Structure 1
Amino acid sequence: MTHSARRIGRTLALVLPVVLVLSGTLAVTSVPWAGQPSQSQMLTASSQNVSVPAKPRAPHDVLRDRLLTELQEKDPGTALTHLQREVEARPSLAKHCMSIARDLGRAAVERLGPTRAQSFSKPVCDTSFATGVAAQTQGS
């Protein structure tokens, strides 16, 4: 009888932790969420839901976003001055200067209206800011 008891004890010692872990795991995979007490959602791991690191953004896109924010917080003249300084400091941005200035012109019209936006025109990247103002004015 001692041998049988030992054998049962060993079996339980091996099986019981596995059963407890599995039952605990199953218990927490089905959780009713707030606001939906009658519906249970299953928590499952999926390779499709894994976060993918963002691709590094191009320097000209970062600059465009920063200058558009600056235009909203300050004024178009400040953003244009900073665009000119950035292009002078980093000549590789020159090929994007016209498109950034045009986007600033469009954003200036959205914020200030065409007449007031035009008053901020500067000869940065040729006349791209003024072109953006004009394009946005015609499209409105």
Structure 2
Amino acid sequence: MTHSANYTQKPRRGQGPARRAARTLAFVLPVMLVLSGTLAVTRVNWSGSSSDSILTASSQNVSARAKSRAPQDVLRDKLLLELQEKDPGIALTHLQQEMHERPSLAKHCVSLARALGRAAVQAYGPSRAQSFARPVCDTAFATGVATAARG
């Protein structure tokens, strides 16, 4: 009977209990860390007020602030900011461009131009504000300047 001298048994490469436990831990540990971190952040009172609510993000005033604004209101704020940062002439030019690009806002052109006229009087005075007048929305800008100068 001949025996091989270099006969060795191969190591077992199966799913042993230690290997299964390590894989389970590798999957469960990150999930638990994320969940515990999320819960910890939601329990912190970030607002600084002494309210007893645990989840400050679920307060009732969040939905009130989330309402979308009308496109003409967004445009008005943009143009008024531009008027203050640059000058009324640039704001009027951009108003005219917006009226050509978005005809649905044309019905608000007069009120937007008047608001620009009133803001120009506050920023530059009546005579200088009138020098920026353009034929945008008829004479609405000039009307806004005139009403602000009288009032």
Q: Which TM-score applies when normalising by structure 2?
A: 0.61
For the residues of structure 2 that align with 1:130 and 1:50, how far apart are their CA atoms? 40
Q: Does 1:121 align with 2:130?
A: no
For the residues of structure 2 that align with 1:127 and 1:69, how far apart are their CA atoms? 21
The CA RMSD over aligned residues, in Å, is 2.2
Structure 2 alignment gaps of length 5 or more: 1-42
1:88 corresponding residue in structure 2: 100
Q: Which one has a larger percent strand, Structure 1 or Structure 2?
A: 1
Deviating above 3 A after TM superposition, structure 1's stretches of 4 or more consecutive aligned residues are 44-50
For the residues of structure 1 that align with 2:61 and 2:108, how far apart are their CA atoms? 34
Q: CA deviation at 1:54?
A: 1.6
Question: Equivalent pairs: percent with the same residue?
Answer: 63
Paired letter, 2:109: C
1:51 corresponding residue in structure 2: 62
For the residues of structure 1 that align with 2:142 and 2:60, how far apart are their CA atoms? 45
SS of 1:63 mapped into structure 2:
helix
Superposition map of 1:1-140 within 5 A:
41=50, 43-44=52-53, 49=60, 51-52=62-63, 53-139=65-151
Q: Which TM-score applies when normalising by structure 1?
A: 0.66
Change (3 A) 1:133 1:51: same
Larger Rg: 2
For the residues of structure 2 that align with 1:42 and 1:56, how far apart are their CA atoms? 27
Change (3 A) 1:94 1:50: closer
For the residues of structure 2 that align with 1:50 and 1:80, how far apart are their CA atoms? 36
The count of corresponding residues between Structure 1 and Structure 2 is 102
Deviations along 1:32-77, one digit per CA (max 9) or x if unpaired, are x8xxxxxxx5624597645215211111110000000000000000
